[in-house]
Chains A and B, each alone.
Chain A
């Protein structure tokens, strides 16, 4: 075991409030970037799905701004990421999916 925890790949879908201005979206992305940097995470790719109607109303929201992120993060930090996201007011919903382990020690 090395002293550094091996990062794991994750996929995360995020739904931001559909009615917020474009700049708020930027703020959110920036905040996430900063957070990742602090926790030794790396965002590999961001897919912007954009504004989309929700299949059902969540609270009063009928539209959401969808983002799909692929990132790498030490598994112990996932909990704190969830915690941080839950405090985000512009966020309607998010879901983090674990992807396969990367690197030589795959499957360990």
Chain B
């Protein structure tokens, strides 16, 4: 097991290096960040000075080499725009994104799993047809349009909820979370629902498929033959079995949600990493983009690893085979 984990981490480092290289080259080729930074009337001399101060006058491979050597010391350079540490900028905004992502996914699970089980239990019922059609709508409607609609209805017309920004936060340990304040929740609700809609649709479909697969199984019939009540059968026999694919998918989706947060953060002016990335791309703030990518790759790989480990924990068949092996 330990060897497996180490192997995965090494693979991750390799991917991170390759990715950073690709992006580095790509962004270098594309534009001149200096043009963004200097004012329109700057003379060439001034531009050259700026270029030199950022080390942009050196050849590409040298820039990359410098970058890598710094990276090994976990120094990812400074933002072209603000001069702050690139990684620092990102880490500053990460809790906001993670908070949004986790709350959205939790919301999706709480809504999606019961509906999915219901749809799996009664495939012919009218309510099930409604749920399934609703789920198609859920993941068809583009994320940003849903966000806009929610703003329009709840913020503009009904005026119940504020339209943007993040609410007041409170510290818990090293983290500054807004879920702990009421104001925080009022601002978290709309963006979380925007993301949760599509994810809930996905979870409903997976839960329904897993339920339909599990229900005809002999062990369910055997449980009924033992005279167990349906509530017990669903709660214990069914749930434990379908949790495995659901949790696996949710783990992977968390990565998607964090990435897709770009859109939601833009609409709701949520101060997270996604918005930062978008702005950095538009302003060609290369250090920030590269730092973001490296962080995201690391996050995704760790997430995949965690899901794999979680899978072995949840399914005793896998766990005990692994222990024997």
* A and B together in one complex: no
Chain A interface residues (CB < 8 Å from chain B): none
